[in-house]
C-alpha cells in the first residue's frame, strides 16, 4: 500500500508538465506541436530558447527530488539527503511515479516528455555519489558525440549498474531498471536514427554559431 501511495504522489508531481506550461505562458503554444513534438528539455531549448530550456530542466529535476523527499519524510525513507530511514523504497517509488506522470500526463492525453531530467533528479535524491558519476560520464559523452539522445541513454543505463556496484538490493535496482527501460522505450525513434546516422546533434554553449551566408 505504501508503494502505491508513493507512486500516486509521484505521479501527481510528474504531471506538473513544465515544458507545456512554459510554452503556453511565454509563447501561447503547445511545445508538443513544434520541433520534435516532445514535451521535454531538449525540445524546449530548440523551440523556446536557452532560458526557457534551463527553467524547464531545473523544474523537472526538482519535482523528482521534491516527490522523493516528501515520501521519504512521510514514510521514514532514506536517500541522499535523508538518514532517518533505512529503506530507499518510499522515495524511489515516488520517483517512478514522477517519471510516469511526466511521460504520460493524463490531462495531456498521456503525451508528455521522455523523463530524463526527472530521472536525473531521482538519481540525485537516491545516491548523490552515483549521480555525480553519471553526470560526469554524461557530460563527456555529450561533448564527444553532441547527441543528447545518446547521452540520455548512456546515463540511464549506467545508473542501475552503479547501484549494483554500490551494493543496493534487488528491489531498488529493479525499480531503477524499470526507469531505464522506460527511457529506452521512449527513445526508440532516436535509437533508430542513431543507428542510421541521421540523429540531430546539438550546438554546445561554448561553440560559436556558424557565420551567416551572404544573400
Between CA 15 and CA 9 the distance in angstroms is: 10
* Confidence at residue 210, expressed as pLDDT on a 0 to 100 scale: 55
Backbone angles phi, psi at 82, to 5 degrees: -130, 115
Is the pTM higher than 0.85? The answer reads yes
In whole angstroms, how large is the CA radius of gyration of the chain?
17
Neighbours of 167 (CB within 10 A): 7
pLDDT digit string (tens) for 140-184?
999 999 999 999 999 999 999 999 999 999 999 999 999 999 999
Give rounded-to-5 percent helix, strand, coil for the chain: 70, 0, 30
Torsion of CA 209, 136, 42, 66, to 10 degrees: -140
pLDDT of residue 215: 44
The H-assigned helical ranges of 75-127 are 89-103, 116-126
Whole-Å CA distances, 153 to 2, 70, 121, 143, 190: 30, 28, 15, 15, 10
Q: How many CB atoms lie within 10 A of CB 194?
A: 16
Question: Cα–Cα distance between 153 and 176 in angstroms, integer?
Answer: 13
Give residue 44's pLDDT: 87
Q: How many CA atoms lie within 13 A of 8 on its CB side?
A: 5
Contact call for residues 183 and 114 (beta carbons, < 8 A) = yes
Q: What pLDDT does residue 170 have? A: 94
Query: C-alpha grid cell for residue 138?
Result: 554524461
Q: What is the largest CA-CA distance in the chain?
A: 66
Cα torsion angle, 21, 25, 27, 29, sign: positive
What is the pLDDT of the chain when averaged over all its residues?
Answer: 88
**Paired residues of 79 in beta bridges:** 82
Among 6-20, 45-59, 83-97, 109-123, the range scoring the smallest mean pLDDT is: 83-97
Q: CA-to-CA distance for 68 and 91, rounded, in angstroms? A: 4
Coil, strand or helix at 210: coil
215: cell is: 544573400
Q: What is the distance, to the nearest Å, from the Cα of residue 193 to the centroid of all Cα atoms in its chain?
A: 20
Amino acid at each position: 500500500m505504501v508503494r502505491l501511495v508513493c507512486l500516486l504522489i509521484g505521479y501527481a508531481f510528474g504531471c506538473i508538465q513544465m515544458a507545456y506550461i512554459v510554452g503556453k505562458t511565454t509563447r501561447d503554444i503547445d511545445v508538443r506541436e513544434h520541433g520534435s513534438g516532445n514535451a521535454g528539455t531538449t525540445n524546449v531549448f530548440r523551440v523556446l530558447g536557452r532560458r526557457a530550456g534551463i527553467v524547464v530542466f531545473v523544474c523537472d529535476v526538482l519535482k523528482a527530488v521534491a516527490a522523493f523527499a516528501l515520501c521519504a519524510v512521510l514514510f521514514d525513507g532514506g536517500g541522499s539527503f535523508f538518514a532517518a530511514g533505512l529503506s530507499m523504497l518510499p522515495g524511489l517509488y515516488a520517483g517512478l511515479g514522477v517519471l510516469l506522470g511526466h511521460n504520460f500526463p493524463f490531462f495531456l492525453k498521456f503525451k508528455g516528455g521522455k523523463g530524463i531530467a526527472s530521472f536525473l533528479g531521482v538519481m540525485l535524491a537516491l545516491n548523490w555519489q552515483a549521480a555525480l558519476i553519471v553526470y560526469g560520464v554524461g557530460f563527456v559523452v555529450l561533448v564527444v558525440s553532441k547527441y543528447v539522445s545518446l547521452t540520455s541513454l548512456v546515463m540511464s543505463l549506467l545508473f542501475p549498474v552503479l547501484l549494483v556496484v554500490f551494493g543496493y538490493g534487488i528491489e531498488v535496482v529493479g525499480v531503477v531498471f524499470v526507469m531505464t527501460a522506460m527511457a529506452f522505450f521512449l527513445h526508440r525513434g532516436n535509437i533508430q536514427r542513431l543507428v542510421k546516422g541521421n540523429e540531430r546533434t546539438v550546438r554546445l554553449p561554448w561553440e560559436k554559431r556558424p557565420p551567416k551566408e551572404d544573400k
